[in-house]
Amino acid sequence: MPQELLLQVSPETAANEALLKTHLSKQIKVAVQDIDQVVVLKRSIDARQKAIKINLKLSIFLKGEPFQEQKVQLPDYPNVTSAQEVIVVGAGPAGLFAALQLIELGLKPIVIERGKDVRGRRRDLKAINRDHIVDEDSNYCFGEGGAGTYSDGKLYTRSKKRGDVTRVLELFVAFGASSDILVDAHPHIGTNKLPQIIQDMREKIIECGGQVLFETRVTDILVKNNEVEGIVTQNGDTILAQKIILATGHSARDIFELLDRKKIFIEAKPFALGVRAEHPQTLIDSIQYSCDYRGEHLPPAPYSIVKQVGGRGMYSFCMCPGGVIAPCATSPGEVVTNGWSPSKRDQATANSGIVIELQLADFKPFEKYGALAGMEFQKSIEQRAWHLAGETQKVPAQRMIDFTQNRVSSDIPKTSYVPGTTSVEMGQVFPRFLTQILREGFTEFGKSMRGYLTNEAIIHAPESRTSSPVRIPRDSLTYEHVQIKGLYPCGEGAGYAGGIISAAIDGEKCAQMIAQVLKISN
C-alpha cells in the first residue's frame, strides 16, 4: 500500500523530483532508489514566515507496489437527439455544465447564447480594446463560456457546501485542463487555455444530440397560467419547452428588464462596487514573500485583504497575479473594468478589484425603478465614469496616494488597461460615502501590507460587476422560480453563484432538479 505523507519543503525541493525523493527517503527512512513514484495530492504555499515553504500531501509508492496513473475520464454521455428538450439560456459555466448534466441524465439541452462562439468573440474584444466599440451581444461578458472565458478562469471557491467541487474540476481536466487544478489550493486555468476547453465542451454537447445556438438573444419568455411554454428570439423565432434554465449571467440587464416588465417576481440584491488597483508584480512579490526577488520556483504572489471601514466590508476581489485589466462594458456609453491572468501569470503587473459592500438603502435615489434600483445605481456610476474619462473606453484613473489625499494625479503611467486611462479625481466618479470609505480603506490596507499604499499603484474605475444587482427568487428545495413553474433561475445572474465553480455546480443542480421532476411526471 502506498504511504500518504504531509510535509513542508522548500520551493526548490517541491519543484525538483530528485530533490523531493531525496528528502522523502530521509523522512520515511528508505533508500532513494526504493522510491518508485511520488504523486502530489495537494499543494499550497505557506508564506507566513521569512523562509517560504510549500505544503505537500503526497502518496508514495515503493518499488514493487502496484502503481497505475489515474486518468480522469468523461462520463459516458448518451445520445439525446430524440430525448425531451430543456432550454438553457446562456452558455457560461452555469449553462454549459447544466447542459452536460442534462445529457448525462438523458435530456436534450437547447443552449441559447446571445453572443458568438469563443473564436468569434476575439474580433469583438479587439474592437473594444483598439477601436472603443462595444458590441452589446459579444464582449468580455457575453459569448460562449461567459465572463470567465476571457477574464481569468479562477477555480477557487469557498462554496464547498453547495456541491461537488472535485467533480467540476475533474470535468475541466477531462476536457483538457491541467491536472494541477486538482492539486493546487487555488486552482487556475488561464484565459489563454479556457477557449479550447469551452469549445470542446460545446462540441461534446452537439455530438451527443444537444443544440447550441449562437448569436441568438432571448427577447421574450412565453408564460401561460404561470407555467413556461418556451422563448422567443430576436429574430421572432419561437422555441417551445416545458423547462427553462435561465443562466444569463450578472450583466444581462435586458433579461432583468424583461422579467420586471412581465411582472415575473425579481428583487434588488446588494452587491459590491469599487475600483481595480494595479501594482507592479515585483512589488506585490516583495510584500507577500518578504524578499527582493521571488526566484524561479515561486509563482507570482497573490494577495487577499479584508477590512471593516465605516461599518462596511472593503476587500480585494478577483485578484490577478501577473495579469492585466480588461474593458468589460456591455453597452455603449459606459465603462467597466475587470482583471484576468494567462495560465503562466507572467505579465509584469498585478491587479485586484478593491470593492465595498453595498446595502439596499444605498439604492434609495433609484427606488422608482423598484427591483431594478441596484442595477440603475450600478449603471449610473459606469455612465458617469465613461463621461468623465472622455466618452470612449478609456477609464478614470488616479495614483493611489493621490486618491487618498484628494489630489488629481499630474500624470498616469501606462497601465495594462489597453484602451487607456484619463487622470480623474475619483471622488467625481463615486457617491461621497463610497469615496470616503475607499480613501480610509486604502490607508488601512497600507498598514497591513507595508508598501501597498504607494503612488506606483494606479486605481481604475469602476469595478462594478462583482455580482448580480438582482436576485431571481427560487424555491430552496426545487430550484424552481417561486412564481413561474418550469423556470429555473441559475448561476450568477440569478444571484446564486459567485464564480466559475459555484456557477457550474448551480447549473448541474438545476439540471438534476429538472430531471427529477420529469422522471416523476413521466
Residues 228-281: tens digit of each pLDDT? 999 999 999 999 999 999 999 999 999 999 999 999 999 999 999 999 999 999
CATH class of 85-267+472-521: alpha beta
Residue 323 has pLDDT above 90, yes or no: yes
Residue 96 or 344, more confident? 96
Buried b / exposed e along 356-366 (16+ C-beta atoms within 10 A)? bbbeeebbeeb
Pairwise CA distance, residues 502 & 500, whole Å: 6
Instruction: Find the helix packing angle between 93-104 and 194-207, rounded to 10°.
Output: 30
Percent of the chain past pLDDT 70, that is, above it, reads: 98
- One-letter-per-residue 3-state SS of 210-247: CEEECCCCEEEEEEECCEEEEEEECCCCEEECCCEEEC
Mean pLDDT throughout 32-52? 93
Pairwise CA distance, residues 243 & 134, whole Å: 32
Please report the pLDDT score of residue 186 as a whole number: 87
Pairwise CA distance, residues 479 & 487, whole Å: 9
Residue ranges of domains in the chain: 3-62, 85-267+472-521, 270-463
Instruction: Find the helix packing angle between 373-388 and 253-261, rounded to 10°.
Output: 140
Please report the pLDDT score of residue 519 as a whole number: 83
Tell me what the pLDDT averaged over the chain comes to: 95
* Inter-residue contact 271 to 358 (CB < 8 Å): yes
Mean pLDDT throughout 326-354? 95
Q: Do domains 3-62 and 85-267+472-521 have the same CATH topology?
A: no
Pairwise CA distance, residues 210 & 217, whole Å: 18
Of the candidates 365, 373, 360, 356, the residue with the CA atom closest to the CA atom of residue 311: 356
Q: pLDDT tens across 207-217, in order?
A: 999 999 999 99
Residue 435 has pLDDT above 60, yes or no: yes
Of the candidates 479, 481, 480, 501, the residue with the CA atom closest to the CA atom of residue 492: 501
Please report the pLDDT score of residue 157 as a whole number: 67
AA identity, residue 70: Q
Residue 84 has pLDDT above 70, yes or no: yes
Mean pLDDT throughout 15-27? 95
SS3 label, residue 179: helix
Confidence of residue 198 (pLDDT cuts 50, 70, 90): very high
Mean pLDDT throughout 300-306? 96
Residue 343 has pLDDT above 90, yes or no: no
Q: At the topology level of CATH, where does 3-62 sit?
A: Alpha-Beta Plaits (3.30.70)
Residue 11 has pLDDT above 70, yes or no: yes
Residue 522 has pLDDT above 80, yes or no: no
- One-letter-per-residue 3-state SS of 65-83: CCCCCCCCCCCCCCCCCCC
Residue 49 or 432, more confident? 432
* Inter-residue contact 261 to 117 (CB < 8 Å): no
Asked which of 169-183, 187-201, 458-472, 504-518 is least confident by mean pLDDT, the reply is 187-201
Q: What DSSP designation does 170 have?
A: H
What does pTM read for this prediction? 0.95
DSSP β-bridge partners for residue 353: 276, 317
Q: pLDDT tens across 146-164, in order?
A: 987 876 667 866 655 567 8
Pairwise CA distance, residues 447 & 372, whole Å: 38
Please report the pLDDT score of residue 344 as a whole number: 86
Q: In sequence order, what are the residues at sequence separation of 6 or more whose Cβ sits closer than 8 angstroms to the Cβ of residue 84?
A: 107, 108, 242, 518, 522
Burial of 57 (0-12, 13-18, 19+ CB in 10 A): middle
Q: pLDDT tens across 494-506, in order?
A: 999 988 999 999 9
Please report the pLDDT score of residue 411 as a whole number: 96
